[in-house]
């Protein structure tokens, strides 16, 4: 075990998946740059952003991938999933169809993953509670059935965004260390 060696770094690939317009790109920009865009265009997207955090005195880097809109064409490529050890599966609490898609996204993730993947179900847009279409209980239940972490977030008001990413990254770390 060389984990105590000075200078050792961890680099984890994390993917964000889920239907179009659930807020994937904004969750990433909120986490990585503390930015939110009300009119974000699916075409404006970077491949990934790298964020660092410290766990047990070690520098852990997460390379977090965004689909950059390719999910609209039902064509998230296998390259996107390759090497991923963490995943955020996102739906929009104000649109039930996006919640119904979660099992399909989980299947796609399973198909493409070769190792243990730390997975969190995210009900995004918790700020839209007044037009909620999926209850918290339903999110909790699905997460329990599928063995996922669960959290409701808002990329708009920043609720739970950092927490969600950090839980996934810590879980990956505990899976590999």
Report the C-alpha gap between 111 and 129 in whole angstroms: 33
CB of 39 to Mg ion, least distance (A): 12
> Which is nearer to Mg ion, 72 or 82 (by Cβ)?
72
- In sequence order, what are the beta bridge partners of 64? 14, 49
- Span from 20-28, 107-115, 131-139, 168-176 in contact with ligand GDP (CB under 6 A): 20-28
Write the binding mask 23 to 42 for ligand GDP: x where contact by CB under 6 A, - elsewhere: xxxx----------xxxx-x
Q: Does 70 bind ligand GDP (CB under 6 A)?
A: no
Which of 88, 93, 125, 164 touches ligand GDP by CB under 6 A? Answer: 125
Q: By three-state DSSP, how is residue 7 classified?
A: coil
Burial label for 146, CB within 10 Å (0-12, 13-18, 19+), is middle
Q: Any contact of residue 25 with Mg ion (CB under 5 A)?
A: yes
Span 138-167, contacts to ligand GDP by CB under 6 A: 154-156
- Choosing among ligand GDP, Mg ion, none, which partner's interface includes residue 20 (Cβ < 5 to 8 Å by kind)? ligand GDP
Please name the residues in contact with 154: beta carbons below 8 A apart, sequence gap of 6 or more. 124, 125, 126, 127, 160, 161
Q: If contact means CB under 5 to 8 A according to the sort of partner, which of ligand GDP, Mg ion, none does residue 22 touch?
A: ligand GDP
Task: Read off the tokens for 24.
Answer: 């994937």
Helices (H), the chain: 24-33, 78-81, 96-100, 102-112, 136-146, 161-176
Provide the binding-site residues for Mg ion, judged by CB under 5 A.
24-25
Residues of this chain that bind ligand GDP (CB under 6 A): 20-26, 37-40, 42, 124-125, 127-128, 154-156
């Amino acid at each position: 075990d060389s984990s105590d060696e000075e200078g050792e770094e961890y680099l984890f690939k994390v993917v964000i998946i889920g239907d179009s317009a659930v807020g994937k790109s904004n969750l990433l920009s909120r986490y990585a740059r503390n930015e939110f865009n009300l009119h974000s265009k699916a075409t404006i997207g970077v491949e990934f952003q790298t964020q660092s955090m410290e766990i047990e005195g070690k520098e852990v880097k997460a390379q977090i991938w965004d689909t950059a809109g390719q999910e609209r064409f039902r064509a998230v490529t296998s390259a996107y999933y390759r090497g991923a050890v963490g995943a955020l599966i996102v739906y929009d609490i104000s649109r039930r169809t996006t919640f119904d898609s979660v099992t399909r996204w989980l299947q796609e993730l399973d198909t493409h993953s070769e190792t243990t993947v730390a997975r969190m179900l995210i009900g995004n847009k918790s700020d839209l509670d007044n037009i909620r279409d999926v209850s918290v209980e339903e999110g909790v239940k699905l997460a329990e059935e599928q063995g996922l972490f669960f959290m409701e977030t808002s990329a708009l008001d920043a609720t739970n965004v950092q927490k969600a990413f950090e839980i996934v990254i810590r879980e990956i770390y505990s899976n590999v260390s």
